[in-house]
Amino acid sequence: MNVTSTQNAAATNRSRSAMTLLEMLVAVTIATVAFAAIGSLTVFTARSFVALANYGDLDDASRTALDILSRDVRQSRSLTAYTPTQISLVANDNSPLTYSYNSSTGNLTRQSGGTTKVMLTQCDYLNFKIYQRNPSNNWSWYPVSSNQLSTTKLIDVSWKCSRQIMGQKVNTESVQTAKIVIRN
């Protein structure tokens, strides 16, 4: 038996059956980069889907709140109390109706007939302004003084709501604003 040919055959079998350290390091590096790219793409996609859902939810809530607020103001008889964060109206059936914004909770609430309903949540700010019906000559409206609330015919409301994703405030809807005329 030839010892040299046996040793050569054993060495050839070893080199075919195992990876060298350098080959292993290259394979691990490529796999790590590939998994990092897939992970980043997955997180980005998930955040994008959550952001889109939040935008839709914010838009729906704002539209619903504005529809109800517009209907109530248009059908009300008069304004009885006013602050930049709260308005009190006499409804068409002579019952009191109040919309108030609480900046600490971020909620806009509607109080009518002994019931309270939250209209908006997670609002960053909300502001009411009141004006007389007659416009000035520069396409704006005359403001109402605090002792003449009975002359109020136009209520301007604006708000901005937002949501958080993973602890960061990233969803902010554009400012919602409306000028609503008291018709009665």
Q: Could you tell me if 175 and 58 are in contact, meaning their C-beta atoms sit under 8 angstroms apart?
A: no
Alpha helices in the chain (DSSP H): 3-17, 21-75
Q: What is the pLDDT of residue 75?
A: 94
- The tens place of each residue's pLDDT in the chain, 184 residues long, gives 565 666 666 666 655 667 888 999 999 999 999 999 999 999 999 888 888 888 888 889 899 999 999 999 999 999 999 999 999 999 989 999 999 999 999 999 999 988 999 999 989 999 999 998 777 777 777 788 777 888 888 999 999 988 877 777 766 666 788 999 898 7
Q: Output the pTM of the full model.
A: 0.75
CA distances 138 to 82, 116, 181, Å, are: 25, 39, 19
| Pairing verdict, β 96-102 and 115-120 | unpaired
Task: Give Dmax over CA atoms of the chain in angstroms.
Answer: 119
